[in-house]
Amino acid sequence: MPKGTGWRISLICAFAVLSFLYLTPTLVAKLPAWWNGLLPKDKIHLGLDLQGGTHLVMEVDTLKALEGTLELVATDLEDTLNNKNLRFKRISRTAADKVSLVLYEKGTADAVQKLIKDKYPGYELSPTFDEGGFVALTMRINEKDAQDRKDKAVQQALETIRNRIDQFGVSEPTIQREGINHIVVQLPGIKDPQRAIELIGRTARLEFKMVREDISPSSATIPEDAELLKEKSVDPTTGAVSEIPIVVMKKSMITGDLLTDAQVRIDSQFNQPYVAIEFNSLGAKLFDQVTAANVGKRFAIVLDSNIHSAPVIRERISGGSAQISGNFTEKTAADLAIVLRAGALPAPVKIIQNVTVGPSLGQDSINKGLFSGMVGILLVVVFMAIYYKLCGMVANLGMILNVIYLMGALAALGATLTLPGIAAIVLLIGMSVDSNVIIFERIREELKLGKSPKAALDAGYDKAFLTIMDSHITTLITAAVLFQFGTGPVKGFAVSLSLGVIINLFTSLIGTKVTFDLFLHKGTAKKMSI
């Protein structure tokens, strides 16, 4: 055995054994009981285009998130000024990035300006101006803070959607940010895509608001501090849906941010599902105070601007527990519990792209992908065997090693195989023999110069080395760019291509060279079958 060949053969065999080891969970449907501990369990996952599922592109309404932030600022200012006995006529959000304050006197305005500068340094204050005999001023969020809030809204939405999907039970989902305000969601193998879409896109803003019994819903004028919402009611016998208008306070007494848990329960009296909720310590304290102060009054439970129920507070409710009842089925109650546990989206999301791939189409893609791969391998094997004879068979061995190593690497990384990923594997088959073609042509040139097979082999590999390295590095750079800026299937293609390029360098420059060295190491061969 020639010097330096032993470690190369050991490396080739070790990589082959590892590849088969990592491929075992993919190839074997049910692993034996002893297959545990340090042995690999990850398998190659199939992408959306291969096993079917749903692909969504969602747009986060970041402007609404900014408006929501300013609504909270306005509410906080109301409470702060009331606590400090600073009289005001009105505080409200007047634009997506502005809050307006109308005060009774100039002295109060000076005190409020100082307070705002201390409490909200990220806001710009306009000079005071006269508004019908009152003193008015405007605070505006600066551009940097506004952009930060929008960015955080997208990040929050992504995490909330991820939590909802995890609780929904979808295996191997892909959830990632794309661009400034888009989120891409892929749900492979999902059986009820419409339910998942409704669950993901639901804002789930939970609020508890006091009902204004003193204002008729049919009234022409609703005060600024109140709003008209509707409660849906379903007739149990006919199934007819009716909407009951109810006037409630705009200001929320308690919000869903203070929840710690939400679970589905069954009402023993009416055998109807409801959602039992638990508040954190602050929420429990507020709920206790609100119910104690409003016994005999109606309390509306509002979800995404729709009233689920508006019961009368019969007594003070301590302990931080409450329930949301309505016309629920077990499925709708379960979905509501999921979105409440996962938290509300910081802003509404709009689905701008919805593509559903059926499982039969996915299976068809697998079959066609495997068929094209097998045809590609067969044609390459036949061509190399005819054109390069025995040397061509060595190149075919390198190609087979390439495919085994690549599949093993994908399994080891727990990668997701997509249809473009299969295309990258077929491309790798061509690349693997392409490297050997360059080497073989150099060897032919050296043989024509009269060199011995051993000397021609060494010279051929040496002269082809830089050419092979250059082509592979440029391909690797292209794959890196595709991975960085591509999404979904494009990333799958880039991963398979990158791994294939690195593996092909090993098999073409080391794997096939070792085989030739084993046959030609004595230097007695007179000719090569090339």
Q: Which residue has the tokens 């997506």?
A: 96
For residue 440, name the pLDDT band (cuts at 50, 70, 90).
confident
Read off the pLDDT of residues 370-424 as tens digits, 9 standing for 90 and up.
787 788 788 888 888 888 888 888 888 888 888 899 989 888 887 777 778 888 8
d(CA 511, CA 400): 11
The segment(s) of the chain belonging to CATH 3.30.70 are 63-146
Domain 5-52+358-520 classification at class level:
mainly alpha
Give the pLDDT confidence score for residue 138 in this predicted structure. 92
Task: Compute CA 32 distance to the chain's CA centroid, rounded to the nearest angstrom.
Answer: 33
pLDDT at 3: 67
- Give whole-number Cα distances, 311 to 34, 283, 324, in Å: 58, 19, 10
- Which part of the chain is CATH 1.20.1640.10? 5-52+358-520
**Does the domain made of 63-146 have the CATH classification 3.30.70?**
yes
**CATH second-level architecture of 208-323?**
2-Layer Sandwich (3.30)
Query: What is the rounded average pLDDT of the residues 439-457?
Result: 86
- Per residue in 94-114, pLDDT (tens digit) is 888 899 999 998 888 889 999
CA distances from 415 to 38, 42, 421 (A): 19, 9, 10
Please say whether the beta carbons of 279 and 320 come within 8 A. Answer: yes
Q: Mean pLDDT of all residues in the chain?
A: 85
Q: What is the location of CATH 3.30.1360.200 in the chain?
A: 208-323
Q: Could you give phi then psi for residue 85, rounded to 5 degrees?
A: 55, 35
Bigger pLDDT: 45 or 439? 439
Confirm whether pTM is higher than 0.95.
no
pLDDT band at 38 (very low <50, low <70, confident <90, very high): confident
Q: For every residue of 263-315, which 3-state class applies, written as one string?
A: EEEECCCCCCEEEEEEECHHHHHHHHHHHHHCCCCEEEEEECCEEEECCECCC
pLDDT, tens digit, 9 for 90 and up, residues 142-196: 889 899 989 999 998 998 898 888 877 776 788 888 888 999 988 887 777 888 8
- Is the pLDDT at 245 greater than 90, yes or no? yes
Q: First-to-last CA distance in the chain?
A: 23
What pLDDT does 523 receive? 58
Between residues 114 and 484, which one has the greater pLDDT? 114
Q: Confidence class of residue 59 from pLDDT cuts 50, 70 and 90? A: very high
Residue reference for tokens 């599949």: 407
Q: Is residue 359's pLDDT more than 80?
A: no
Burial call 123-136: b when 16+ CB within 10 Å, e when fewer: beeeebeeeeebbb
* Per-residue confidence (pLDDT) for residue 455, from 0 to 100: 85
